[in-house]
């Protein structure tokens, strides 16, 4: 008889796991002790993976995990393990792949049944609490699988072995068999398909929704990966920019954007961006703020700047940790109802605002529009233009805008008194790296020093709280650092954030930290044999080390690290550039076959084809000319360009000082003035000391 141990989640750091601490299920965390117990008792494992902002995870908890009879079935027949996918994306990656192989798709909550050796033999997602609509309910599934294990565990084990073998083979499809040391690698690009990028953008444009913006149909996601690729290549083809701007306009006016408090919800349940799935994720908002910022750089239109500022203000107001760092997510539900915090009806608006302002606001935000109705309220969205609203009420646009802003402010203040959705207060290293990038870039482009200060605070938090004494990163922080080691995505995005912070401030110590972390990442995750990065460090509790080049909700960690290597190629020893070439060669066929999933690697390929451009600034920092030149550089969208300042002197091994000296050879301040050198492949344009001339040169170099 197996020893019954109660629910063990109350002391876990993850808020999601603690949400399940009172379930009658005897949940265990995923750790060596739990796995050893499964092996000793030869008990099959029921693995449930979710996250705190997941609506259907909460539904399954209410319906099944808090049901005494269902919990009894689970406890009697399985060792039940709960995992937070945000804390352990490696486990989620492996068992989502199993779901894709078995049932064609994954999702959350993920429900996986494993052998005592953690090999999957049955995987699904959400299961209802009873049989319905021809689909087996969770109790039926539990009973059948328990009986199967009891009657013929040998068959179950063989099934699990075959599935695990298929998973392992799939995970190594991109491996280059027998690839030797990098010194043997031929990095000649002559056999790279010349039209791969053109074909990709033609295909992706066939998915573009010309009516409502975005890509594909409902449910509709922001598709940041595609938007970033299009923006980067828009300097070559204006139609791509038009598609991005159209998409950004529809999103900003839709219900997916929080019209009162700023920031974006996870996705739209319809094709028109009207009714969102209301959870808010740090990564969506950090990445979308950067996309809107580029739109502002390319157009100068204030509507894009407004979205950037409102989105970042949302993060700083509602998601900020007092010591620095930004929390992970906010739920879709409050008081047990999805979207209740965000939706309104006409009666409460008129009661709050009165007849005149209430009617105005309801007209503008579509209160009463049936398409935006959900769970007893309407989702605010911009249902008409300001000009049309002004005409409808016989007012000037200025008067209308003033009345709207006053009404919006009152509505926001009223909403602040409501019960908020649950906030997951994990600070995830990778996502905070994204936030550093968003704050640093916005601060530099918009000349808002507060954002740069906040980027510094997040960076210091990460380096102080989430970096160990040996230089390795940890995954997350919640009332203390998590014991979970950082994943490739944590290094990739945190390095990228520090790079953006360096370019925003030109403070040399950020680049020192970047170079140190790149060395750690290469040593921990790179595989010469595979020709790519693994997603995790080597560990004993995984069936295999996953390597995920495809984009998912955000650009893949491999693509972000490849981009980092592109920008750092002249500051790293030669192997840094070789690894970039190796990655692109490893996934060339995948980029051709699946532009949607490999959009971020295609963007790196595009940069590599164009080549790195380096901008060197020298001369006195306090000189007004220096500030003016820097403002010109930072206000301009310059993909594939790095900016250096001459006072950089990082202590990075024996190689960098020589590299740094070579890069700066001959670059002096003319007549003691701040001076800019724009270079490519060690060839430089004439030095520039005047902002007007710099604008002219940049326009010629980056002419669209």
Q: What is the pLDDT of residues 97-156, one digit of tens each?
A: 999 888 888 899 999 999 999 999 999 999 999 998 777 899 999 999 999 999 999 999
Q: Which CATH number is 379's domain given?
A: 1.10.10
Give the per-residue pLDDT at 655: 47
- Is 674 in a helix, a strand, or coil? coil
Q: What is the pLDDT at residue 50?
A: 96
Interval 488-501 mean pLDDT: 98
Q: Taking a C-beta distance cutoff of 8 angstroms, is the pair 509, 44 a contact?
A: no
| Position 10 pLDDT exceeds 50 | yes
Mean of the pLDDT values across residues 512-535? 94
- Torsion angle, CA of 487/608/187/517, rounded to 10 degrees? -30
User: Both tokens of residue 66?
Assistant: 């808090």
Domain count, the chain: 4
Examine residue 22 and state whether it is found in any structural domain, yes or no.
yes
Q: Is residue 487 part of a domain?
A: yes
pLDDT of residue 650: 43
Q: Which of 136, 171, 206 is the last residue of a domain?
A: 171
Same-domain check for residues 116 and 232: no
Residue 190 has pLDDT above 80, yes or no: no
Cα-flanking dihedrals φ and ψ of residue 618, to 5°? Answer: -140, 165
Residue 450 lies in a domain: yes
According to the model, what pLDDT value does residue 103 have? 84
Tell me: do 472 and 323 sit in the same domain. Answer: yes
Q: What is the mean pLDDT of residues 177-185?
A: 26
With both helix axes pointing from N to C terminus, report the angle between 282-299 and 429-446 in degrees, rounded to the nearest 10. 20
CA 631 – CA 562 distance, rounded (Å): 28
Q: Is the pLDDT of residue 176 over 60?
A: no
Could you tell me the pLDDT band of residue 168, with boundaries at 50, 70 and 90?
Answer: confident
**Which whole number is the average pLDDT over 430-435?**
98
Same domain for 568 and 502: yes
Mean pLDDT of 220-243: 95
Shared-domain flag, residues 565 and 667? no
Do 32 and 67 fall into the same domain? Answer: yes
Lowest mean pLDDT among 542-551, 585-594, 625-634: 542-551
Instruction: Give the model's pLDDT for residue 175.
Output: 32
Q: What is the domain range of residue 505?
A: 198-334+424-611
Q: Is the pLDDT assigned to residue 703 strictly greater than 70? A: no
Residues 584 and 531 in one domain: yes
Instruction: Give the phi and the psi of residue 656 in degrees, each rounded to 5.
Output: -65, -45
Long-range contacts, stretch 145-150, CB < 8 angstroms, 24+ apart: 145/44, 145/77, 145/113, 146/44, 146/73, 146/76, 146/77, 146/78, 149/44, 149/77
CB of 641 within 8 A of CB of 680?
no
Average pLDDT over residues 366-384: 95
* φ, ψ of residue 123 in degrees (nearest 5): -140, 140
Work out the angle at residue 541's Cα, subtended by the Cα atoms of residues 539 and 544, and round it to the nearest 5 degrees.
70
Residues 589 and 619 in one domain: no
For helices 302-318 and 282-299, the axis angle rounded to 10 degrees is 160
9 in any annotated domain = no
Cα separation of 205 and 295, whole Å?
18
Q: Is the pLDDT of residue 184 over 60?
A: no
Mean pLDDT of 280-288: 98
Q: What does the block give as tokens for 326? A: 């930004």
The Cα–Cα gap between 621 and 647 comes to: 10
Same domain (yes/no): 489, 638: no
- Between CA 605 and CA 563 the distance in angstroms is 9
Look at 351 and 177; give whichever has higher pLDDT.
351
Identify the pLDDT of residue 116. 96
Lowest mean pLDDT among 41-55, 293-307, 481-495, 661-675: 661-675
The 3-state secondary structure of 1-70, one letter per residue: CCCCCCCCCCCCCCHHHHHCCCCCCCCEECCHHHHHHHHHHCCCEEEEEECCCCHHHHHHHHHHHCCHHH
Distance CA 5, CA 21 (A): 13
Judge contact between 321 and 425, C-beta under 8 A. Answer: yes
Question: What does each C-alpha distance from 630 to 635, 677, 679 come to in angstroms?
Answer: 8, 12, 16
State whether 262 and 391 are in the same domain: no
Query: DSSP for 296-309?
Result: HHHH--HHHHHHHH
pLDDT computed for residue 191 by the predictor = 53
pLDDT of residue 652: 44
Quick one: average pLDDT of 210-238? Answer: 94
Tokens (6 digits) for 416: 């602040």
Buried b (16+ CB within 10 A) or exposed e, 484-494: bbbbbbbbbbb
- Distance between CA atoms of 643 and 535, rounded to whole angstroms? 29
Asked if the peptide bond before residue 109 counts as cis, ω within 30 degrees of 0, the response is yes
Q: What is the CATH number of the domain that holds 683?
A: 3.40.30
SS3 category, 425: coil
**pLDDT digits 0-9 by tens, 534-588:** 999 988 788 888 888 999 999 999 999 999 999 999 888 766 788 999 999 999 9
Residue 192: pLDDT band (50, 70, 90) is low
Q: Mean pLDDT throughout 29-44?
A: 95
Which of residues 355, 384, 417 is at a domain's end?
A: 417
- 648 and 674 inside one domain: yes
Residue where one domain finishes, among candidates 593, 611, 629: 611
pLDDT tens for residues 297-306?
999 999 999 9
pLDDT, averaged across the chain? 91
């Amino acid at each position: 008889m197996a020893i019954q141990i109660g629910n063990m989640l109350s002391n876990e750091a993850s808020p999601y796991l603690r949400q399940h601490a009172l379930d009658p299920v005897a949940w265990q965390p995923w750790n060596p002790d739990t796995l050893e117990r499964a092996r000793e008792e030869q008990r099959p494992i029921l693995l449930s993976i979710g996250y705190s902002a997941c609506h259907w995870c909460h539904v399954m908890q209410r319906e099944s995990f808090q049901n005494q009879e269902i919990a009894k079935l689970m406890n009697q027949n399985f060792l039940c393990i709960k995992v937070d996918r945000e804390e352990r994306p490696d486990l989620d990656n492996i068992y989502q792949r199993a779901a894709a192989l078995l049932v064609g798709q994954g999702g959350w909550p993920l429900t996986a049944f494993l052998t005592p050796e953690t090999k999957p033999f049955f995987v699904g997602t959400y299961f209802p609490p009873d049989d319905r609509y021809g689909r087996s309910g969770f109790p039926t599934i539990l009973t059948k699988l328990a009986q199967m294990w009891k009657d013929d565990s040998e068959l179950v084990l063989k099934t699990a072995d075959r599935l695990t073998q298929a998973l392992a083979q799939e995970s190594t499809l991109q491996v280059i068999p027998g690839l030797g040391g990098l010194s043997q690698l031929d990095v000649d690009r002559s056999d790279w398909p010349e039209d791969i990028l053109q074909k990709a953008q033609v295909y992706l444009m066939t998915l573009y929704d010309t009516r409502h913006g975005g890509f594909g149909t409902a449910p509709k996601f922001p598709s940041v990966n595609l938007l970033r690729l299009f923006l980067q290549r828009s300097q070559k083809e204006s139609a791509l920019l038009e598609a991005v701007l159209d998409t950004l306009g529809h999103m900003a006016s839709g219900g997916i954007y929080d019209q009162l408090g700023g920031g974006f919800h996870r996705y739209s349940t319809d094709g028109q961006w009207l009714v969102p799935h209301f959870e808010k994720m740090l990564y969506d908002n950090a990445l979308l703020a950067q996309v809107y910022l580029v739109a502002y750089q390319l157009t100068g239109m204030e509507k894009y700047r407004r979205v950037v500022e409102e989105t970042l203000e949302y993060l700083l107001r509602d998601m900020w940790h007092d010591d620095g760092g930004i929390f992970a997510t906010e739920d879709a539900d409050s008081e047990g109802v999805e979207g209740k915090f965000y939706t309104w009806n006409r009666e409460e608006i008129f009661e709050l605002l009165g007849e005149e302002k209430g009617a105005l606001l309801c007209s503008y935000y579509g209160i009463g529009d049936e398409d935006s109705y959900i769970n007893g309220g309407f989702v605010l969205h911009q249902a008409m233009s300001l000009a049309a609203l002004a005409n409808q009420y016989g007012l000037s646009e200025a008067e209308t805008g003033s009345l709207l802003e006053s009404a919006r402010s009152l509505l926001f203040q009223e909403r602040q008194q409501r019960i908020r959705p649950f906030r997951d207060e994990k600070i995830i290293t990778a996502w905070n790296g994204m936030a550093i990038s968003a704050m640093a870039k916005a601060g530099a482009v918009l000349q808002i020093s507060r954002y740069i200060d906040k980027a510094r605070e997040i960076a210091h938090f990460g380096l102080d709280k989430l970096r160990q004494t040996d230089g390795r990163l940890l995954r997350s922080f919640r009332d203390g650092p998590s014991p979970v080691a950082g994943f490739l995505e944590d290094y990739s995005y945190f390095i990228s954030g520090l790079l953006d912070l360096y370019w925003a401030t030109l403070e040399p110590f950020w680049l020192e930290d970047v170079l140190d972390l790149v060395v750690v990442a290469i040593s921990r995750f790179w595989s010469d044999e595979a020709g790519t990065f693994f997603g995790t460090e080597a560990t004993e509790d995984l069936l295999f080390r996953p390597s995920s080049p495809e984009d998912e909700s955000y650009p893949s960690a491999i693509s972000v690290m490849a981009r980092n290597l592109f920008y750092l190629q002249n500051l790293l020893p030669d192997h840094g550039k070789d690894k970039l070439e190796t990655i692109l060669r490893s996934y060339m066929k995948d980029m051709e076959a699946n532009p949607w999933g490999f959009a971020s690697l295609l963007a790196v390929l595009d940069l590599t084809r164009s080549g790195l451009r380096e901008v060197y600034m020298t001369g006195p920092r306090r000189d007004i000319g220096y500030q003016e030149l820097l403002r010109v550089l930072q206000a301009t969208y310059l993909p594939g360009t790095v900016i250096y300042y001459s006072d950089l002197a990082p202590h990075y091994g024996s190689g960098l000082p020589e590299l740094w000296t070579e890069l700066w050879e001959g670059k002096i301040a003319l007549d003691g003035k701040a001076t800019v050198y724009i270079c490519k492949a060690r060839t430089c344009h004439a030095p520039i000391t005047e902002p007007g001339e710099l604008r002219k040169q940049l326009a010629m170099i980056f002419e669209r």
